[in-house]
Amino acid sequence: MKRTPLRWLCLGLTIFAAPLAAQARVDQNVVYGMYSGLALLMDVHHPAEPNGYGIISIGGSGWHAPTAYGARQLKRGPPQIFLDAGYTVFTINHRAAPRFRYPAAVEDAQRAVRFVRHNAEQYGVDPDQLGGWGGSSGGHLIAMLAVMDGDGDPDDSDPVNQASAKLQVVVAQAGVFDFAVLFDNPWPASVNASFLGAPLRPGDPTYRAASPITYVTPDDPPMLLIHGDDDQVVPFTQSEFMLAALEEHGIEARLIRIPGGDHGANDAPEMVRWLNRNLLGDVRAEALESLLEAYSYLSEGGRLARAGDISDALQAYQNARERDARLTIQALSWNLLCWRGSLWGHAAEVMEACERAVALAPDNGNIRDSRGLARALTGDVAGAIDDFEAYVAWTGNDRARAQRQDWIDALRAGEDPFTPELLERLRS
């Protein structure tokens, strides 16, 4: 058995000594509008220490959703860093293709902003200073909320519709900003055609009408663009085109290029710095710098864990925890350290990461699977079997289910299935 250096056992205890942070309160399934009997829903995520500002959050979905009654909702938890920084975050569902075409999703996003603005006092946010974040298709929608006029109708019988739908600062991650130049990429082009309800034909007016780049004017708010330059879904050039349009009109804008980054690449600390500077002002923004530095340490820890540099990853996680007590490490971040650390021979040191991940997400089969591996490698056979059985019952992947069942059978027979060759395959 490989011996664990005492210094890393001690370090592991130091990292995990702090108590779990209090969870943010969430108001789920708030109805922000009705469309022909269809309820439009949002979740309101309240931070433990609100700063008085709100963020509209729209995740990516390709503007599409399954038509089955039991389909997963589009709204999902926002980036945790927003809540740790004190922002109240509003995550939304919206009408989606193939049942609903453009401009339904844009209209719903505008309705959500109007609803938040109209009810700002109830939610404790400034109605005149609302921010937004969106990724992928959500990046497109959030950009539309920045560049379209969004004027309310003072004569509308619904007071919500009298409010403005325009945001005051946005962060758009890997968004589509000009549909008319995406015809050379077959997969996005077909998705776009389904969303827009228009044929794949350059020059179609619908493509121009649905493109944020069409609406850029000098009165638009500051916009931060983030994009991986190896994005195989939405070309990096989309953000370059948008940046050029914003700068041409004198808009405060910046593009963060993530070298080698894929479609999900981001820079969470810079997202919050952008929001802070434009909403909170310099003094209050400076007070949050230590939190953003903590997130940078955490991001570096994740990178190191993926690379198999577990000792330095443990140190980075410790640095993150020590830098700012407001930092919340979510289940998936703990799970990353648990899984990669176990694969690279540090199961004992990362066991507390495994336990924290399970405590935060006990029903997540992948997280139970990671702890099962750590338990098996540290001699807890019964615990490993229990976790692997939970994964077998949870997963829909037949191949992975069969593999875990083989592990369970071997452990019950007193055998060790985790040969160096298997661990190497799992690492790769």
Q: Domain-by-domain residue ranges, the chain?
A: 6-19+330-427, 25-287
The CATH number that domain 6-19+330-427 falls under is 1.25.40.10
In the predicted structure, residue 22 carries a pLDDT above the cut 60: no
Least Cα distance to 20 among 360, 416, 384, 411 occurs for 360
Tell me phi and psi for residue 5, to 5 degrees: -60, 135
What's the 3-state SS for the chain? CCCCCHHHHHHHHHHCCCCCCCCCEEEEEEEEEEECCEEEEEEEEECCCCCCCEEEEECCCCCECCCCCCCCCCCCCCCHHHHHCCCEEEEECCCCECCCCCCHHHHHHHHHHHHHHHCHHHHCCCCCCEEEEEECHHHHHHHHHHHCCCCCCCCCCCHHHHCCCCCCEEEEECCCCCHHHCCCCHHHHHHHHHHHCCCCCCCCHHHHHCCHHHHCCCCCCCEEEEEECCCCCCCCHHHHHHHHHHHHCCCCEEEEEECCCCCCCCCHHHHHHHHHHHHCCHHHHHCCHHHHHHHHHHHHHHHHHHHCCHHHHHHHHHHHHHHCCCCCCCHHHHHHHHHHHHHCCCCCCCHHHHHHHHHHCCCCHHHHHHHHHHHHHCCCHHHHHHHHHHHHHHCCCHHHHHHHHHHHHHHHCCCCCCCHHHHHHHHC
- Binned at pLDDT 50, 70 and 90, residue 23 comes out as low
Instruction: Return mean pLDDT, the chain.
Output: 92
- Binned at pLDDT 50, 70 and 90, residue 100 comes out as very high
Q: Which residue has the higher pLDDT, 276 or 18?
A: 276
Q: Do domains 6-19+330-427 and 25-287 have the same CATH topology?
A: no
pTM, entire model:
0.85
Q: Which of 176-190, 195-209, 218-232, 237-251 has the lowest mean pLDDT?
A: 176-190
102-161 residue pLDDT tens: 999 999 999 999 999 999 999 999 999 999 999 999 999 999 999 999 999 999 999 999
| Domain made up of 25-287: CATH architecture | 3-Layer(aba) Sandwich (3.40)
- Binned at pLDDT 50, 70 and 90, residue 193 comes out as confident
